[in-house]
Amino acid sequence: MPHHMPAMNTTVIGRLNPITKIVAVFSLGLSALAWPDFTLGLIVVALLFVVSFMAHIQKDFAKIMFGFGIPVTVMLMFIQGMYSPKNKTVLLDLGFSQLCLEGVLYAAKVVVSLLVFLGSFYIMNKTTYVGSMVAALTAVGLNAKVGYLVLASLNVVPQMQRRMAVIQEAQSARGLDATGGMLSRIKAYIPLLGPVVLSSLTDAQERGMTLETRGFGITGVRQTSYVKVDWNTMDTVANWVLGIVLLAVVVVSILMRIGVIPMLITWGGV
Amino acid sequence: MRIELKGLEHAYSKTDKALDGVDLVLEGSEPVAIIGQNGAGKTTLVKHFNGILRPTGGSVEINGVDINTRSTAEWSREVGYVFQNPDDQLFLESVRKEFEFGPRQIGMDADTIARRVNEVAELTGLSKKLDVHPFDLTPTEKKFCTIGAVIMMDPAAVIFDEPTCGQDRSGNARLKTIIERLRGQGKLCITISHDMKFVTANFSRVIVMCHGTVLLDGSVNEVFAQTDILRRSFITPPPITRVAQGAGLKETVFTVPAFINAITKERNHHG
Amino acid sequence: MSAIVHVEDFSFKYRDTKRRAVKHVSFDVEEGSCFAIIGANGSGKSTLCNALVGLIPHYFVGARAGRILIDGVDVAESTIAELSNTIGLVFQNPFNQLSYTAGTVAEELAYGLGNHGVARELMIERVEAVAKLMRIDHILDKNPLELSGGQVQRVAFGSTFIMEPRVLVLDECTTQLDPLGASEIFDIVKQLNADGVTVIMVDHDMERVAQYADTVMVLDRGSVAAIGAPYEVFADPELESHGVQPPDYVPLTRALGLPIEIREEPTIAAVKEVLA
């Protein structure tokens, strides 16, 4: 039967159930956080690069990871490396301050954990059609109203941009000159923001009521969706693996912290 | 006012050519109606008259000046444009401020603005609503507020995009008055409309567009006499005209008196 | 009682206006008929449409009197969503009728069915059928927010009648369409009507009203000024005093001294006879 969907990511990653992807974000992110040092997180980040290749989004993915990763790493390394209360071992004497190992290691862990969350979330976002996401969440019991809020709010921004463009057109036809420098453009458009926001709000209000005339908010009926979300063997396997990984990481981390297993990198330094 | 198009083309994308070689001269104060199906290129065409859209091929000249030499804001002194949706146009807190906005942008002096506000308010039926927030106007009043705001700038040509959309009888009567007033002042009025009764009652020249080209261009009588071409471009003449054509009257008529005249002539002819 | 819509002495005043939008309106609409509401702008037509589908009193706040029954159910005691099983409204502004949650026209059409829990297989079947009928099957993959006015109007219309309401309320539902598009929509309306769907239409095009309606109600400043068969209403010389003009065939046949006609074909036939 014909089935009309927007252009979607058809790679192995793209075909995963949205629930699996949400589970992955949490499982991988929490694992990186639970692990006592940065090593596990670093491995996961490397794995995410592999995943981004599989999903054919490696370029954008790399841009996000490096664009966010490098400045944050530098910033955190210096702040923690110089001012962390745990600091003992001096790596580098800058004169006005000293860069220490403990702070740098701590910063490394924070950065990789952030990158795991950011990277996995980005992959999920890039490879999942929002409609499928909401359909999947509704299928596991998410409230229809919450689902609507998620979808509608994602649509509001592009809609406002379109509207802003039309209103700009209409105002330039009334002599509003916006061809000068940045400053004159900003000055010219500030008065337009009001009507854009106002009309978006009234539209949203009218929309709310039209939705109810199409049965939105009806009680006692289990909602269905045009968007079909598959659950494949792949998803079952992935969810099990992700669950076991998280569990194992948490157990091992606890054992390391209470000293049953020796740590790979000791905070106190050599 | 003279608007001249030579081989005008506009392509939104490589595969989507909305205008495909339009040659036209619009001049004088004879009101012009542009008709045609949805997607025929009507709005794309008129958006070239004040530079909202720029030609992707051919040229547009306003009084001999190439459209590309000035910005839309600069052209707004010569060519006014009333958008189809009033909500795209109104953004100030009173009708009066809406009326004053355009003229101020183009540097009209305060006395002239004050005088024109009263004139235009009367013309658009908003004299008692000048201090009302446009948001609180009825849809009809909003439309007339946008029309007033454009006329306030005293442009030599005014473009209306579907002005009868959602109007009732009294709204249509007011539009008629406005079009007649503009013509009396020597302004060129160019209107896109689906409403054939409105077109035949107010416009002497009619341009039919189809697939991005001009299919017919002539007096309203000439155009509506071309029943075959109109049918092929999916245009239905107004009811009186259809009855006359259906009953086999030779003359193209749009009003009841004209119909009676034609029928009397035809009977005399036969008798 | 075969009236599927029963309006009894209904009045409503919006909270922020001084005047009542509708005053003491009573009428019945028989199941399977086509009922037209006409009147000048501001005469209360849209208010009445809002009341029929339950937006008044569940959405618009104000002072309300009288009652409205849809298939025997008091609108005030039901909910808008419940009523959508029986009665559907196609709004004047089609852009605001979009759900803003659908990535494709297909999803947009299916939206109401999803709310009512229609099984996916049936949903797809109906989406295909409605899209074909509305001539939007070539844009099913497109984003509804990127369509032209005429296309959105078709989608809005389709997304209402896909729910197969027993009563379809059309509030000037063709303003964005060219005459051909509008007549295509009304051909579909006529077919639905013939299949037993009750139609309540609000329109400014009197020739169209005369062509499709079995009953016409004239509203003037919120009150019922006239109600009856199209011929009775349109042939009445008093009609224009309520801000409404009859179809052009009426002044034409009147001026020719012929029996009054309200539709095109009989007018042509009558004129031909005069010429013969």
Q: How does pLDDT run across B41-98, given as a tens digit for each residue?
A: 999 999 999 999 999 999 999 999 999 999 999 999 999 999 988 888 888 889 999 9
Asked if C178's CB is within 8 angstroms of B234's CB, the reply is yes
Cα angle at A211 between A205 and A212, to 5 degrees?
Answer: 100
Burial of C181 (0-12, 13-18, 19+ CB in 10 A): buried
Asked whether the beta carbons of residue C117 and residue A217 sit closer than 8 angstroms, the reply is: no
Q: Which domain holds residue C52?
A: 3-86+165-275
pLDDT cut 90: percent of chain B above it? 82
Report chain C's mean pLDDT, rounded to a whole number: 93
pLDDT for residue A270: 32
Closest residue to A172, CB basis, from B72, B90, B150: B72
User: Mean pLDDT across the stretch C171-186?
Assistant: 89
Tell me the C-alpha to C-alpha distance, in Å, between residue A26 and each of A69, B157, C33. 19, 62, 58
pLDDT at A116 over 90: yes
Return mean pLDDT, chain B: 93
Closest chain C residue by Cα to residue B236 = C179
What is the biggest distance separating any 2 CA atoms in chain B, rounded to whole angstroms?
Answer: 66
Query: Does residue C81 surpass a pLDDT of 90?
Result: yes
Q: What's the gap in Å between the CA of C160 and the closest CA on chain A?
A: 7
Cβ B81–A173 below 8 Å, yes or no? yes
Chain C residues with CB-CB distance to A158 below 8 A: 145
- Which residues, other chains included, contact B69 with Cβ-Cβ below 8 Å and sequence gap of 6+? none
- Partner A contacted by C140 (CB < 8 A): yes
Residue C190 covered by a domain: yes
Closest CA to C94 of C141, C140, C160: C160
Does A138 score more than 90 pLDDT?
Answer: no
Q: How confident is the model at residue C17 (pLDDT cuts 50, 70, 90)?
A: confident
pLDDT score of B3 more than 50: yes
Task: Report the chain B residue with the minimal C-alpha distance to residue C208.
Answer: B239
C194 within domain boundaries: yes
Q: Express as a percent the part of chain A with pLDDT over 70.
A: 95
Angle between helices C149-161 and C179-194 (to 10 degrees): 10
**How many contacts does A have with B, using Cβ atoms within 8 A?**
61
Q: Which of A151, A210, A228 to mutate to test the interface with C (most CBs of C within 10 A)?
A: A210
Chain C neighbors of B235, CB-CB under 8 A: 179
Task: Reply yes or no on whether the pLDDT at A164 is more than 90.
Answer: no
Distance separating alpha carbons of residues C44 and C223, to the nearest angstrom: 8
B71 touching chain A per CB within 8 A: yes
Q: Would you say residue C160 lies in a domain? A: no
Asked if residue A115 has pLDDT above 50, the reply is yes
Per residue in A8-26, pLDDT tens? Answer: 788 889 889 999 999 999 9
A226:C127 CB<8 A: yes
Query: Is B73 an interface residue toward C (CB < 8 Å)?
Result: no
Q: Is B37 on the interface with C (CB under 8 A)?
A: yes
Q: What is the pLDDT of residue B169?
A: 86
> What subunits make at least 3 CB pairs under 8 angstroms with B?
A, C
The predicted-structure confidence for B104-136, as pLDDT tens digits, reads as follows: 999 999 999 999 999 999 999 999 999 999 988
C255 within a domain of the structure (yes/no): yes
* Structural domain contains residue C183: yes
- The pLDDT assigned to A266 comes to 58
Q: Where are the beta strands (DSSP E) in B36-121?
A: 57-62, 65-66, 79-82
What does the pLDDT average to over C12-32? Answer: 94
Rounding to the nearest 10 degrees, give the CA dihedral for residues B194, B199, B203, B208. Answer: 50
Nearest beta carbon to residue A6 from set C101, C121, C141: C141
The alpha carbon of residue C56 and the mean position of all alpha carbons in its chain are separated, in whole angstroms, by: 17
Cβ distance of B167 and C177 shorter than 8 Å: no
| C-alpha Rg value of chain A to the nearest Å | 25
Would you call B74 and A177 a contact, using CB atoms and an 8 Å cutoff? yes
Query: What pTM was computed for the model?
Result: 0.86
Mean pLDDT of C30-54: 95
Beta-sheet pairing, C167-171 with A90-93:
unpaired
Interchain CB contacts (distance < 8 Å): A and C? 138
Q: Between A191 and C72, where is the model more confident?
A: C72
The DSSP code for B92 is S
pLDDT, tens digit, 9 for 90 and up, residues A224-269: 888 888 899 999 999 999 999 999 999 999 998 888 888 766 554 3
CATH code, domain with C185: 3.40.50.300
Residues of B in contact with A165 (CB under 8 A): none
What pLDDT score does A223 carry?
Answer: 84
Chain A residues touching C128 at Cβ < 8 A: 2
pLDDT at A1: 43
Share of chain C above pLDDT 90, in %: 83
Task: Confirm or reject contact between A206 and chain B (CB < 8 A).
Answer: no
Cross-chain residue pair B88–A166, CB shorter than 8 Å:
yes
The yes-or-no verdict on residue A124 having pLDDT over 70 is: yes
For residue A179, the chain B residues in CB contact (below 8 A) are 71, 73
Our count of domains for chain C comes to 1
Residues of A in contact with C89 (CB under 8 A): 210, 213
Please name the member of C103, C111, C145 whose beta carbon is closest to the beta carbon of A159. C145
- Check pLDDT > 90 for residue B198: yes
Ranked by mean pLDDT, the top range of A86-90, A130-134, A230-234, B2-6 is B2-6
Contacts of B257 in chain C (CB under 8 A): 255
Residue B17 is given by DSSP the state E
Residue of A nearest to B152 (CA): A174
Domains with residue ranges and CATH for chain B: 2-234 (3.40.50.300), 238-271 (no CATH)
Q: How far apart are CA A268 and CA B7, in angstroms?
A: 80
Res A198: pLDDT? 74
Distance in Å, alpha carbon of A153 to nearest chain B alpha carbon: 22
pLDDT in tens, C98-144: 888 888 999 999 999 999 999 999 999 999 999 999 999 999 999 88
C185 vs C193: CA distance, rounded Å: 12
* Residue with more model confidence, A134 or B183: B183
CA distances to A116, A131, B225, C103, C114 from A6, in Å = 28, 10, 46, 6, 18
* Chain C (221-260) residues lying within 8 Å, Cβ to Cβ, of chain A: none
> Cβ separation of B89 and A192 shorter than 8 Å?
no
Q: Is C104 contained in some domain?
A: no
Q: CA of B50 to nearest chain A CA: how many angstroms apart?
A: 7
Residues sharing a CB contact under 8 Å with residue A130, sequence separation 6 or more, in sequence order: A150, A151, A154, C103
Place A153 in a pLDDT band, splitting at 50, 70 and 90.
confident
Residue A54 has pLDDT above 90, yes or no: yes
Residue C235, in any domain of the structure: yes
pLDDT (mean) for A168-172: 86
Q: How far apart are the first and last CA of chain A?
A: 66
Residues 29-88 of A with CB under 8 A from B: none
- The answer to the question of residue C131 being in a domain is no
Q: Does C70 touch chain A (CB under 8 A)?
A: no
Identify the band that residue B228 occupies on the pLDDT scale cut at 50, 70 and 90.
very high
Q: Rounded to the nearest 5°, which phi and psi values hold at C63? A: -90, 125
